């Protein structure tokens, strides 16, 4: 087993960040920053990363949770983008099969809809070619009857057939955490709840680090680094404003929300990519007894740390469900949970939210600050490669060190050491049997190994340790997941556990309500919270629970 965030205590990490000089300082702990940290660490760079909230707490835990090839970008003639991200899906899957799963997607074709039968057949064929889709996952065109057999809930009126192709479903937050942990295993130093306040410059006005603030202890210190990368997602412009040199480019934020409905209310059996009444396309995806549906796409200029679902957002998605699945009579009372996320897109004048390119760009300031903006979850590895190539080139030209090229294409993320997707199937079968030795049921073991991959042995050891406790208010499963999150995944607040490490607030909200009091007491004891901290963290969790089910209204 590899050690992850547990190598050093939080105070030791803070001390290391203060005392060491790093090759690279990354600001931002979402998937982009995580990918950069892994790529740079794998090349031998000494890497530091700071995140002002929890890791993956922004866009990287609030996406549609698909590592997808961007079929709709063909309509915008973004051929290069489709080719690149399509191929990346397979790489992400092979490097982390425990957090990425192939998901057959049905694209129903209706008379007058966004996609016609001929254009869809051609588009999917081009998509297969550009994305290098393997033979077993290439598209199939279906008749109307075959389409209805795949998903009987689909609107029958005007149905002409369907396209059937593969996307990849993921747990976006856990994907980010696993990439971060892989970087830590290679020697990177990273910490959450530390905010970059201002940049430090040399006498040539080149950035050589940042002054930061630990938001847990309120202590301030400086981090020294040869190169600094701003990978802060929706906060990219705020970080750039701390620098004296900016260019004329800027972000345009858009918001998307997703609804979660129990399959007893919305018995979806097949992932669907479908038309909305206004001609957009959204996803409906079954997941562990739930169906989640989204997303909206609207311009956003409010609080970036806690975007809210509006009543009109919820109604938009419900209307889309009723439009494509007319026999499904879900109402707002049937919405169990939801999430709202922000897309940090690069501003393009005169374009609607859905039309703005998802392509990434690298911006260089006169100070030497490197900013990576835009992009998609699927393309994180290639984005990281481009950034670290630039960092390596600069360091070589400055006579600091020479680093080689990227090695992340076949490097497994943490938990991914299972011999790829084929090996993972056998690994799951072996480990679910083994789980019984540690007090778990076979079904619990299967869940654990499919969540934590090759790190499941940690969970098994925690399960064994559970028997040594005289009395615990936690179940064995909750105990194992919670202790692993504390010792190996650097959680500090209940929201870290219930949202980013488990996804439970989105997909198992009743489980959160059942265990939140016991989890809070356990965390308070182990992490030595003050009474003020405890009160604050309880309030934060209650707000998240409320936001998940109750929209706000536009004033």
- Do 520 and 436 lie in a common domain? yes
Residue 176: alpha-carbon gap to chain centroid: 6
- Do 155 and 178 lie in a common domain? no
Predicted confidence band at 374 (pLDDT cuts at 50, 70, 90)? confident
- Do 365 and 243 lie in a common domain? yes
Q: What is the pLDDT of residues 132-183, one digit of tens each?
A: 888 888 889 999 999 999 999 999 999 999 999 988 999 999 999 999 999 9
Residue 505, domain extent: 420-549
Cα torsion through 33, 520, 261, 330, rounded to 10: -130
Averaged pLDDT for residues 516-540:
97
Are 258 and 336 in contact, with CB atoms under 8 Å apart?
A: no
What CATH number is given to the structural domain containing 515?
Answer: 1.10.8.870
- Do 387 and 450 lie in a common domain? no
> Residue 323 burial (CB < 10 Å; 0-12/13-18/19+)?
middle
The answer to whether residue 342 is domain-embedded is yes
What gap in Å lies between CA 494 and CA 503, rounded to an integer?
12
What CATH number is given to the structural domain containing 277?
Answer: 3.30.9.10
The answer to whether residue 195 is domain-embedded is yes
What gap in Å lies between CA 210 and CA 223, rounded to an integer?
5
Predicted confidence band at 74 (pLDDT cuts at 50, 70, 90)? low
The answer to whether residue 404 is domain-embedded is no
- Do 348 and 471 lie in a common domain? no
Q: What is the pLDDT of residues 326-343, one digit of tens each?
A: 999 999 999 999 999 999
542 by DSSP, 3-state: which? helix
The answer to whether residue 88 is domain-embedded is no
Judged against a pLDDT cut of 50, whether residue 555 lies above it is answered with no
User: Of 301, 334, 353, which residue sits at a domain end?
Assistant: 353
The answer to whether residue 95 is domain-embedded is no
Predicted confidence band at 375 (pLDDT cuts at 50, 70, 90)? confident
The pLDDT score that the predictor gives to residue 341 is 96
What gap in Å lies between CA 409 and CA 415, rounded to an integer?
16
Which of 531, 529, 542, 547 lies closest to 10 in space, CA to CA? Answer: 529
Average pLDDT, the chain: 93
Judged against a pLDDT cut of 60, whether residue 7 lies above it is answered with no
Instruction: Give the number of domains in the chain.
Output: 3
- Do 158 and 219 lie in a common domain? no
169 by DSSP, 3-state: which? strand
Which of 293, 268, 34, 63 lies closest to 171 in space, CA to CA? Answer: 63
- Do 257 and 246 lie in a common domain? no
Judged against a pLDDT cut of 70, whether residue 497 lies above it is answered with yes
The pLDDT score that the predictor gives to residue 315 is 97
Averaged pLDDT for residues 485-512:
97
Judged against a pLDDT cut of 90, whether residue 544 lies above it is answered with yes
213 by DSSP, 3-state: which? strand
CA triple 267-176-133, angle to 5 deg:
65
Residue 5, φ and ψ in degrees, nearest 5: -70, -10
Question: What is the model's pTM?
Answer: 0.95
Are 296 and 316 in contact, with CB atoms under 8 Å apart?
A: yes
What CATH number is given to the structural domain containing 391?
Answer: 3.50.50.60
The answer to whether residue 41 is domain-embedded is yes
User: Of 299, 326, 353, which residue sits at a domain end?
Assistant: 353
What gap in Å lies between CA 212 and CA 235, rounded to an integer?
15
4 by DSSP, 3-state: which? coil
- Do 260 and 333 lie in a common domain? yes
- Do 258 and 125 lie in a common domain? yes
Judged against a pLDDT cut of 60, whether residue 545 lies above it is answered with yes
- Do 371 and 485 lie in a common domain? no
Q: What is the pLDDT of residues 390-424, one digit of tens each?
A: 999 999 999 889 999 999 999 999 999 999 999 99
List the structure tokens of 315.
């109604």
Whats the size of the chain, residue-wise?
555
Predicted confidence band at 250 (pLDDT cuts at 50, 70, 90)? confident
Which of 185, 91, 170 lies closest to 421 in space, CA to CA? Answer: 91
What gap in Å lies between CA 488 and CA 455, rounded to an integer?
10
- Do 159 and 275 lie in a common domain? yes
- Do 186 and 311 lie in a common domain? no
Q: How many CA atoms lie within 13 A of 434 on its CB side?
A: 14
List C-alpha distances in Å: 191 to 12, 31, 51, 444. Answer: 11, 15, 6, 31
The pLDDT score that the predictor gives to residue 186 is 97
* Helix, strand, coil in percent for the chain, rounding step 5: 45, 20, 35
**DSSP labels for 31-60?**
HHHHHHHHHHHHTT--EEEEESSSTT-SGG
Which of 39, 34, 159 lies closest to 408 in space, CA to CA? Answer: 39
Could you tell me if residue 20 is left (phi over 0), alpha (psi between -120 and 50 degrees) or otherwise beta?
beta
Averaged pLDDT for residues 240-262:
90
Q: What is the pLDDT of residues 26-67, one digit of tens each?
A: 999 999 999 999 999 999 999 999 999 999 999 999 999 998
397: Cβ contacts below 8 Å, ≥ 6 apart: none
> End-to-end distance of the chain based on CA atoms, in angstroms?
53
The answer to whether residue 523 is domain-embedded is yes
Averaged pLDDT for residues 251-279:
95
The pLDDT score that the predictor gives to residue 220 is 97
Q: What is the pLDDT of residues 288-328, one digit of tens each?
A: 999 999 999 999 999 999 999 999 999 999 999 999 999 99
CA triple 491-492-497, angle to 5 deg:
50
List C-alpha distances in Å: 91 to 396, 452, 457, 468. Answer: 29, 18, 25, 41
Determine which of 5-14, 71-80, 113-122, 197-206 has the lowest per-residue pLDDT on average. Answer: 71-80
The pLDDT score that the predictor gives to residue 135 is 87
Q: What is the pLDDT of residues 268-278, one digit of tens each?
A: 999 999 999 99
The answer to whether residue 217 is domain-embedded is yes
């Amino acid at each position: 087993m590899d050690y992850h965030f547990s190598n050093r205590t939080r105070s030791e990490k803070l001390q290391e960040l203060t005392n060491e000089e790093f090759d690279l300082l990354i600001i931002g702990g979402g998937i982009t920053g995580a990918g950069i940290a892994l790529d740079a660490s794998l090349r031998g760079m000494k890497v530091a990363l700071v995140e002002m909230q929890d890791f993956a707490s922004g866009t990287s835990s609030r996406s549609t949770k698909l590592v997808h090839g961007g079929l709709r970008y063909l309509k915008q003639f973004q051929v290069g983008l489709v080719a690149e991200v399509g191929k990346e899906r397979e790489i992400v899957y092979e490097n982390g099969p425990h957090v990425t799963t192939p998901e057959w997607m049905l694209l129903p074709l209706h008379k007058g809809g966004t996609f016609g039968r001929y254009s869809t057949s051609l588009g999917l064929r081009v998509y297969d070619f550009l994305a290098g889709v393997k033979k077993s996952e290439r598209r199939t065109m279906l008749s109307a009857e075959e389409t209805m057999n795949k998903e009987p809930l689909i609107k029958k009126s005007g149905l002409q057939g369907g396209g059937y192709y593969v996307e990849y479903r993921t747990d976006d937050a856990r994907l980010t955490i696993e990439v971060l942990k892989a970087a830590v295993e290679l020697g990177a130093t990273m910490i959450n709840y530390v905010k970059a306040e201002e940049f430090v410059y040399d006498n040539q006005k080149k950035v050589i680090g940042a002054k930061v603030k630990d938001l847990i202890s309120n202590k301030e210190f400086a981090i020294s680094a040869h190169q600094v990368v701003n990978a802060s997602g929706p906060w990219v412009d705020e970080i750039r404003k701390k620098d004296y040199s900016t260019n004329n480019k800027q972000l345009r934020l858009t918001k998307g929300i997703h609804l979660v409905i129990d399959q007893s209310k919305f018995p979806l059996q097949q992932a669907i990519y479908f038309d909305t009444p206004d001609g957009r396309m959204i996803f409906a995806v079954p997941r562990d007894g739930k169906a989640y549906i989204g997303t909206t796409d609207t311009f956003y200029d409010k609080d970036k740390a806690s975007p809210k679902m509006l009543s009109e957002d919820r109604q938009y998605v419900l209307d889309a469900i009723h439009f494509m699945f007319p026999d499904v009579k879900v109402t707002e009372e049937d919405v169990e949970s939801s999430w709202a996320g922000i897309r940090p897109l690069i501003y393009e004048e005169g374009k609607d939210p859905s039309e703005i390119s998802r392509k990434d760009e690298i911006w260089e300031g006169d100070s030497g600050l490197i900013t990576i903006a835009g992009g998609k979850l699927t393309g994180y590895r290639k984005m990281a490669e481009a950034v670290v190539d630039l960092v390596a080139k600069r360091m070589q030209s400055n006579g600091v060190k020479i680093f080689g090229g990227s090695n992340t294409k076949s490097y497994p993320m943490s938990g991914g050491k299972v011999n790829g997707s084929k090996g993972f199937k056998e690994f799951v079968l072996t480990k679910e049997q083994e789980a019984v030795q540690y007090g778990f049921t076979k079904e619990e073991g299967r869940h654990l190994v499919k969540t934590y991959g090759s790190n499941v042995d940690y969970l098994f050891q925690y399960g064994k340790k559970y028997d040594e406790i005289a009395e615990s208010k936690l179940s064995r499963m909750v105990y194992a997941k919670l202790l692993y999150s504390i010792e190996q995944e650097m959680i500090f607040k209940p929201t870290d556990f219930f949202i980013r490490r488990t996804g439970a607030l989105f997909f198992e909200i009743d489980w959160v309500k059942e265990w939140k009091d016991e989890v809070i007491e356990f965390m308070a004891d182990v992490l030595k919270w003050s009474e003020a901290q405890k009160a604050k963290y309880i309030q934060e969790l209650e707000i998240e629970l409320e936001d998940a089910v109750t929209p706000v209204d536009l004033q």
